[in-house]
């Protein structure tokens, strides 16, 4: 792959178009601003000028031969031009109108004719008309001093101009300037999108991220029922609304993670992200469900004591007296707060409200004690904690868990921050399972399809299969 192809693999054509549509208001604002600017500059700089014109025929006195008139016209055109623009004629006009001439008088020969067009231009239409009439009355007094065998006959009388004869440069090119503003703003938006150092494509992620990519979860569009607004319900593996691609991607990632954890003899997986709203909680829940489908004892722990969300993901109602923080602080035994969901075969230990002292609740000794107990009862423990950039909670958990998984949302977190987070994981001497790319759209171009499955793993799931193993002797059952 050459340098250009490598660069293009990190840019999403679809994402670029969506970014342009999302910022369409900026393009419209740029066009409106340019329109206002051109109108304003026009009003500041434009001076309307009015031109009155008359058409005359150059002839030879006493000669009606048209050919001699044409020959004379070509010879006399420049001379008449000097006459109408002479200071002598301007003085006669000024004396006639009683004021200085505030304008210009010019004449031009119509090609291949003996017609002469005389024009008077001034800032006022009536002035232009008066100047031209005065010039036609007094030009003979000046021209007789130069030649006497030529005469001018008026063919078209002058009239008072009704509209300006000049145009404003700003209004003349207003359309082009507005189009240039739209193109310029679009180019700026595109440049900002390209310069934004985020993960935009699955193919680009392989080159940008410092670690293994366990898989890509495609963006799942929320449906909208007839007469109902689009809700905020998240997509879970057990939901009948999820698409086959979504479910297959989650199960493939679950298979890869299980193989990684089993190969290294690990049980506790911390799922986090660099920033908020990257979908870490949904990913953690779905990975726990994918592992539970394989008839594994899986405990899902909502360790985000600042903004807990797992109870919202599973649409569970609870009170703070049964929150995970109570068990973490030693106020209750964790077996009294854990819940078992018969439908998903998943053990759940949730936080139902923000802890009063999130930082103080994370005690290293108590955490390790709980992890030891969980490992003895469960096959896998999935811990969902707060984002790395939100607090130091994630770093505290990193020192206690077996492995860390980072969730990266499409075009969201800065790649440098993501890779810095990987360095933090490695400095804590904790295993790094890799990345899960979340919410990636299918790309329009054929070079990369937005989400791809690197390999297909066989997987089993317990849809409708009864868990025949002996359940735990504590916790509440949830159907």
Buried b (16+ CB within 10 A) or exposed e, 42-73: beeeeeebbbbbbbbebbbeeeeeeeebeebb
CB 211 within 8 A of CB 435: yes
Q: What is the mean pLDDT of the chain?
A: 84
Window from 7-16, 172-181, 302-311, 468-477 with minimum mean pLDDT? 468-477
pLDDT at 147: 63
Measure the CA–CA gap between 475 and 470, rounded to whole angstroms. 14
CB 122 within 8 A of CB 47: no
What count of other Cβ atoms lies within 10 Å of the Cβ of residue 109?
Answer: 18
pLDDT at 65: 54
pLDDT at 85: 81
* Over residues 359-365, mean pLDDT: 78
* Over residues 173-192, mean pLDDT: 96
Measure the CA–CA gap between 380 and 291, rounded to whole angstroms. 8
Q: Strand pairing of 346-349 and 380-384?
A: unpaired
* Over residues 28-39, mean pLDDT: 96
pLDDT cut 70: percent of the chain above it: 84
Largest Cα span, the chain: 132
* Over residues 314-328, mean pLDDT: 85
Confidence band for 448, pLDDT divided at 50, 70 and 90: very low
Q: Give the CA dihedral 277, 449, 209, 417, nearest 10 degrees.
A: -30
pLDDT at 71: 66
pLDDT at 146: 64
Q: Give the CA dihedral 427, 432, 434, 439, nearest 10 degrees.
A: -80
Q: Enumerate residues 6+ apart whose C-beta is below 8 A from 225.
A: none
> How far, rounded to the nearest angstrom, does the alpha carbon of residue 291 sit from its chain's CA centroid?
37
Sign of torsion over alpha carbons 348, 353, 356, 360: positive
> Per-residue pLDDT tens for 371-385?
999 999 999 999 999
Measure the CA–CA gap between 230 and 224, rounded to whole angstroms. 5
Measure the CA–CA gap between 404 and 426, rounded to whole angstroms. 10
pLDDT at 70: 64
Can you point out the beta strands (E) in 97-203? 103-109, 115-122, 150-156
Window from 237-241, 297-301, 381-385, 454-458 with minimum mean pLDDT? 454-458
Q: Where are the alpha helices (DSSP H) in 265-388?
A: 280-292, 310-313, 324-328, 334-337, 358-361, 364-377
Model confidence at 72: pLDDT above 70: no
* Over residues 46-53, mean pLDDT: 93
The pTM of the full predicted model, rounded to 2 decimals, is: 0.74
Measure the CA–CA gap between 118 and 350, rounded to whole angstroms. 93
Q: Enumerate residues 6+ apart whose C-beta is below 8 A from 77.
A: 58, 107, 108, 109, 116
Q: Between residues 59 and 219, which one has the greater pLDDT?
A: 219
> Per-residue pLDDT tens for 307-318?
999 999 998 887
pLDDT at 458: 37
Q: Between residues 60 and 363, which one has the greater pLDDT?
A: 363
Model confidence at 461: pLDDT above 70: no
pLDDT at 11: 87
Model confidence at 321: pLDDT above 50: yes
Q: Enumerate residues 6+ apart whose C-beta is below 8 A from 170.
A: 38, 39, 41, 42, 45, 46, 177
pLDDT at 479: 47
> Per-residue pLDDT tens for 105-161?
888 888 877 788 999 999 999 999 999 999 888 888 877 766 666 677 888 899 899
CB 349 within 8 A of CB 327: yes
* Over residues 82-90, mean pLDDT: 84
């Amino acid at each position: 792959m050459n340098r250009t192809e490598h660069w293009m693999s990190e840019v999403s054509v679809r994402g670029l178009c969506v970014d342009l549509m999302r910022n369409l208001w900026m393009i419209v604002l740029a066009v409106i601003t340019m329109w206002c600017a051109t109108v304003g500059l026009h009003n500041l700089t434009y001076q309307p000028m009015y031109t009155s014109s008359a058409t005359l025929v150059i002839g030879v006195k006493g000669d009606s031969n048209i050919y001699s008139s044409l020959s004379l016209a070509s010879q006399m055109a420049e001379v008449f031009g000097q006459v109408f623009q002479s200071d002598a004629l301007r003085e006669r006009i000024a004396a006639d109108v009683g004021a200085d001439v505030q304008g210009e008088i010019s004449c031009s020969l119509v090609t291949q004719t003996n017609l002469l067009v005389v024009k008077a231009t001034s800032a006022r239409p009536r002035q232009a008309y008066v100047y031209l009439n005065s010039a036609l009355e007094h030009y003979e007094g000046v021209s007789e001093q130069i030649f006497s065998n030529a005469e001018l006959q008026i063919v078209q009388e002058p009239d008072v101009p009704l509209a300006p004869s000049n145009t404003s440069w700003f209004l003349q090119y207003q359309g082009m300037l507005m189009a240039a503003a739209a193109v310029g703003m679009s180019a700026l938006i595109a440049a900002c999108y390209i310069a934004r150092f985020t993960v935009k494509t699955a193919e680009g992620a392989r080159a940008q991220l410092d670690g293994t990519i366990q898989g890509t979860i495609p963006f799942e569009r929320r449906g909208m029922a007839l007469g109902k607004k689009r809700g905020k319900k998240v997509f879970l593996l057990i939901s009948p609304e999820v698409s086959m691609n979504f479910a297959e991607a989650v199960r493939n990632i679950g298979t890869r993670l299980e193989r990684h954890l089993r190969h290294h003899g690990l049980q506790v997986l911390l799922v986090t992200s660099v920033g908020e709203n990257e979908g870490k909680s949904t990913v953690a829940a779905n990975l726990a469900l994918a592992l539970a489908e394989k008839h594994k004892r899986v405990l899902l722990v909502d360790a985000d004591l600042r903004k807990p969300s797992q109870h919202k993901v599973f649409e569970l109602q609870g009170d703070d007296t049964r929150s995970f923080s109570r068990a973490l602080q030693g106020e209750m035994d964790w077996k009294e707060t854990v819940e078992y969901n018969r439908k998903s075969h998943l053990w759940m230990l949730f936080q139902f409200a923000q802890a009063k002292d999130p930082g103080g609740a994370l005690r290293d000794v108590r955490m390790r004690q709980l992890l030891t107990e969980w490992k003895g009862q469960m096959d896998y423990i999935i811990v969902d904690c707060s984002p790395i950039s939100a607090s130091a909670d994630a770093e505290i958990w990193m020192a206690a868990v077996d492995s860390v998984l980072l969730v990266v949302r499409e075009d969201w977190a800065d790649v440098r921050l993501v890779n810095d987070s990987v360095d933090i994981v490695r400095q804590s001497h904790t295993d790094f399972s890799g990345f899960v790319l979340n919410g990636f759209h299918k790309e329009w171009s054929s070079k990369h399809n937005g989400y791809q499955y690197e390999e297909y793993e066989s997987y089993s799931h317990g849809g409708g299969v009864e868990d025949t193993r002996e359940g735990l002797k504590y916790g509440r059952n949830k159907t």
